[in-house]
Amino acid sequence: MNKPLSWIPTLYLGESLPFAAVMLMSLVLYQEMGLTDTQITLYTGWLGLPWVIKPLWSPIVDGIKTKRWWILAMQLLIGASLALLAFTLPTAFWLQCSLALFMLIAFSSATHDICADGFYILGLTNKDQELYVGLRNTFYRIGMVLGQGGLVMLAGLLQKSEMSIPLSWSITFLAVAGLMLMLAAYHWKALPNPEGKVKSEKLKTKSDSNLASDSSSESSSSSLHSSVIEDFKATFRVFFTKPHLITALLFILLFRLPEGLLTKIVPLFLKRTIAEGGLALTDVQYGFVYGTLGVIGLLGGGIVGGWLVSKFGLKKMLWPLVLCITLPDIVYVYLSLVQSQSLPLIATCVFIEQVGYGLGFTAYTLYLVSFSHGERSTSVFSFCTAFQYLGGVMLPGMVSGWMSDQMGYQQFFIAVMGFCLVTFAVTALVRLPKEDN
């Protein structure tokens, strides 16, 4: 039962579903519940904070209980929180409750991410880690398709049957809650316990030496606290003494600026009415076009981008992939200008842009990996991902709604094309690590 194929797909499905609920499904929910773009992007932008700051508490999580325990606990907590969210949506205080519960789910999901990735390393040999990396990434994307594709379509189908918007979303989030609770129940049996043997040996040694005293416990707690602080200080020192740090930070923070502005606005643009400047897609159409075809394009672009870099090298492919992540953004300028009702045309434009995003994001990710090589590479990489989420997703996402409300969708998308110059500038300045030159 503990074979890798029995738990890797479901573990990464459980990692992606809460993220999809908090960061993607919430956009459509709040749009249908009547919030403005400014409100939606500001509120949901703050929900991304746990993924930015998760390196701060990851050493603490590593030192308390086992990763298996944390995975099961977080899946149960996420499932219960989603169920509670479902019951609060039809109430008068739905907004306050939903934001509080989404934030709780976000912190739980970020903690789950820490433990799931660590568990993957502990539970598999180096050879198996390489063997199953494609499988874990595929099922993570399947969770995204299920979340912003299938489950949004479910809400739309329920509304077609004349069910109210709050009730349709309540049932949808109850479905997500049920999935998370089923995953927790399944993982209780399916997940191996790679840390159990080490823990048992420690307990045996402690018992044999008769050192289970209060003073020993206090000393152990103090040692853990000191270790966590020293670990963070060491990672901080290594990160901020990297060569060419200033240009690297500018690249990490600003490379994704245009996409960071688009990420929250495109779903709202696709859903808004024609009178509001949008394309008036139904939930079913949106779930198919953006939540399914778009994610498939993103995944396909990532696969092709990885192949291109492995064949030709990051230095040769950097600028072509930068053009891939920026120039296709112009499809939204076109769609906002013509406001076509042709679903095939809209789907084609979205697919092209998402393929380009997948291609370009591959180069960006591989740069982060290269930059992290050396001392404390795993911890340094977690710093990199925190900075890239802060500068490339959270902050631009929070202001994007205000920009679109002030400028209108067409002018907003033109402005995004202008911000592509920022991506070009930081790419021109960045110095690739020696092994990629």
pLDDT class of 209 with cuts at 50, 70, 90? very low
Whether residues 341 and 413 share a domain: the answer is yes
- The parent domain of residue 285 ranges over 239-431
Q: Please check whether residue 209 lies inside any domain of the structure.
A: no
Domain containing residue 401: CATH number: 1.20.1250.20
pLDDT for residue 199 is more than 70: no
pLDDT for residue 435 is more than 70: no
Domain stops at, among 197, 221, 250: 197
Whether residues 252 and 169 share a domain: the answer is no
In the prediction, which pLDDT does 130 show?
66
In the predicted model, what is the mean pLDDT of residues 33-42? 94
Q: What is the rounded distance in angstroms from the CA atom of residue 394 to the CA atom of residue 387?
A: 10
Q: Please check whether residue 225 lies inside any domain of the structure.
A: no
Cβ neighbours for 233, distance < 8 A, ≥ 6 positions apart:
none
Residue 198: other Cβ atoms inside 10 A: 12
In the prediction, which pLDDT does 205 show?
45
Whether residues 254 and 190 share a domain: the answer is no
Q: Please check whether residue 6 lies inside any domain of the structure.
A: yes
In the prediction, which pLDDT does 4 show?
84
Q: Please check whether residue 394 lies inside any domain of the structure.
A: yes
Q: Please check whether residue 224 lies inside any domain of the structure.
A: no
Whether residues 274 and 175 share a domain: the answer is no
Q: In the chain, what are the helix, strand and coil shares in percent, each to the nearest 5?
A: 85, 0, 15
Of 34-48, 174-188, 230-244, the least confident: 230-244
pLDDT class of 1 with cuts at 50, 70, 90? low
In the predicted model, what is the mean pLDDT of residues 125-133? 74
In the predicted model, what is the mean pLDDT of residues 160-170? 93
Whether residues 292 and 425 share a domain: the answer is yes
Whether residues 136 and 250 share a domain: the answer is no
Looking at every residue in the chain, the average pLDDT score rounds to 87
Q: DSSP H helical segments within 191-293, as ranges?
A: 196-208, 214-239, 245-254, 257-271, 283-288
Domain stops at, among 163, 181, 197: 197
In the prediction, which pLDDT does 225 show?
55
Whether residues 117 and 248 share a domain: the answer is no
Whether residues 148 and 283 share a domain: the answer is no
- The one-character DSSP state at 65 is S
Domain stops at, among 165, 197, 229: 197
Residues 144 and 295 sit within 8 Å (Cβ to Cβ): yes
Q: What is the rounded distance in angstroms from the CA atom of residue 201 to the CA atom of residue 216?
A: 17
Whether residues 23 and 169 share a domain: the answer is yes
Whether residues 278 and 408 share a domain: the answer is yes
Whether residues 264 and 395 share a domain: the answer is yes
Q: What is the rounded distance in angstroms from the CA atom of residue 53 to the CA atom of residue 386?
A: 7
Q: What is the rounded distance in angstroms from the CA atom of residue 149 to the CA atom of residue 138?
A: 15
The structural domain count of the chain equals 2
CA distances from 182 to 17, 31, 154, 374, 431 (A): 13, 29, 19, 40, 47
pLDDT class of 116 with cuts at 50, 70, 90? confident
Q: What are the structure tokens assigned to 397, written together?
A: 């996402």
Whether residues 165 and 96 share a domain: the answer is yes
Residues 253 and 388 sit within 8 Å (Cβ to Cβ): yes
